[in-house]
Amino acid sequence: MLKNDRFLRALLREPVDVTPVWMMRQAGRYLPEYRATRKQAGDFLTLCKTPELACEVTLQPLRRYPFDAAILFSDILTIPDAFGQGLYFSEGEGPKFRKLIRTAADVEQLPDISVASELSYVTDAVSLIRRELNGAVPLIGFSGSPWTLATYMIEGGSSKDFRIAKQFLYDQPEAMHLLLQKLAAAVTDYLNAQIEAGAQAVQIFDTWGGILTTASYQSFSLAYMQSIVAKLIKEHEGRKIPVIVFTKNGGQWLESIVATGCQAVGLDWIVDIGEARNRIGNSVALQGNMDPSILYASPQAIRKEVGAILSSFGAGNGHVFNLGHGITPEVNPDHVTAFVAAVHELSAPYHS
């Protein structure tokens, strides 16, 4: 039994006492205890690949803040790593791959992988976190979207303009579709394995869908997320497993995102959540959407912005409070205290 099921109830648009809240990247570098565990692990990939350490950093933010959900600590690039692309992290430069995808042959030569065995360190972490949480709050599993994973595999890491990935898309669309099919199959298996290991909701992070044209987004990102959502396990342990689809910078496409069949749409901060609710709030829950940069402002300014977002959403069910993107490393942890308290305190009147 869950002691706090606000998060799952809100995702299913059921009544709650206060608006549930969690933060993307809540287990992260803004927390000194995270930095200590990462130092202990030696490097970032060891942290991800050691279930005990992944469990520890997953739980750290919950010891400080009354978040209504935990999210598995992992990296979005575990699947390309399992495909043998040689993921590594160079200090200050983010993720890198030793092998790159640049031709149709590179795509064809990707090995057949068994996600369950290659990524057992992830499912082991999920099981362990569930045990340690002991029903305090639900656990969220996640994956990057096929398009987002593909951009890293083609670019070889992060990118400013995604020039190489876009060139691949426009010059070799068939090879791109084959890559995305392989990734979509792996993401489906990966999320289902997380659900079977105990994840009680899952989120697909389409971090880079929002750099595409509308037409390319539909065929190269959204279509693959739709195929994944259709194949996910619908119920586990007697509960529905809600799916959250988050396309950063996807505010123009909310109606199409709903059409994937997801239970909730993640919103970045650019969207007005009240307008989003008018557009799609009768069919799905909404998750979001405070600009993470506002956490650098004063606690008073944070509280004011939380109030504005709650007021824009208005009374009723179906809101999970979150940031519009991940929290950044330089934020003062005390500002997160103010943020979470403001959500719980200021939202109560909207649920009476």
Q: Report the interface residues with a copy of itself, using CB under 8 A.
A: 161-163, 166-167, 170-171, 210-215, 249, 251-252, 269-272, 275, 291, 293-294, 296-298, 301, 305, 308, 328, 330
Q: Report the nearest approach of a copy of itself to the CB of residue 341 (Å).
A: 18
Beta pairing, strands 239-240 & 235-236: antiparallel
Nearer to a copy of itself among residue 198 and residue 209 (C-beta): 209
**Non-local CB neighbours of 22 within 8 Å, separated by 6+ positions:** 7, 67, 68, 69, 70, 71, 140, 320, 321, 322
CB neighbours of 62 closer than 8 A, spacing ≥ 6? 70, 133, 136, 137
For residue 167, give the nearest of 104, 233, 102, 86 by alpha carbon.
102
188 touches 231 (CB < 8 A): yes
Say which residue the tokens 């939202």 belong to. Answer: 347
For this structure, is 64 an active site residue?
A: no
3 state DSSP class of 205: strand
Q: Is 75 a catalytic residue?
A: yes
Q: Which is nearer to a copy of itself, 96 or 248 (CB)?
A: 248
Judged by beta carbon, residue 28 or residue 251, the one nearer a copy of itself is 251
Active-site residue among 29, 35, 239, 279?
Answer: 29
Beta carbon of residue 312, minimum distance to a copy of itself (angstroms, whole number): 8
Of the candidates 30, 34, 65, 152, the residue annotated as catalytic is 152
Minimum separation from the CB atom of position 278 to a copy of itself (A): 13
Residue 130 annotated as catalytic: no
Q: How far is the CB of 331 from a copy of itself (least distance, A)?
A: 10
Active site residue 163: no
**For this structure, is 29 an active site residue?**
yes
CB of 307 to a copy of itself, least distance (A): 12
List CB contacts of 76: < 8 A, sequence separation 6 or more: 142, 143, 144, 148, 149, 205, 207
- CB closer to a copy of itself, 121 vs 296: 296
Structural tokens at position 301:
């300014």
Catalytic residues: 25, 29, 38, 75, 152
